[in-house]
Structure 1
Amino acid sequence: MGQKENTDFKEIFDQIEKMLETMKYGSITLVVQDGKVIQLEKNEKVRIR
């Protein structure tokens, strides 16, 4: 794995971490094209009691 791939993974993990910090319920989806993550999607749920 080259330096570029390491940078890409760090950026992806940093973005996922930011999403997790602000989300209580929901899901995060990684969209992959040609073996590379091209998009992150956050689907947040709001629970009403």
Structure 2
Amino acid sequence: MDKKQQNFEKAVESLKKMISTMNYGSITLIVQDNYIIQIEKNEKIRLK
């Protein structure tokens, strides 16, 4: 497996974990030179 594929697989696993733990919010991927270099998670808490 090449470095690009490893980078992608690692990002997908991180995204799965983040999505499964949040109810409201957003996730931003930062890409540089065809590699995902950062993942940002902004979670919102709704008070009813």
TM-score (norm 1): 0.85
| Aligned sequence identity (%) | 48
Q: After TM superposition, which residue ranges in structure 1, 4 or more long, deviate above 3 angstroms? A: none
Match of 1:8 in 2: 7
Structure of greater relative contact order (alpha carbons < 8 Å, 6+ residues apart): 2
Q: Which runs of 5+ in 1 are unaligned?
A: none
RMSD of aligned Cα (Å): 1.2
Q: Which runs of 5+ in 2 are unaligned?
A: none
TM-score (norm 2): 0.86
Give aligned pairs, total: 48
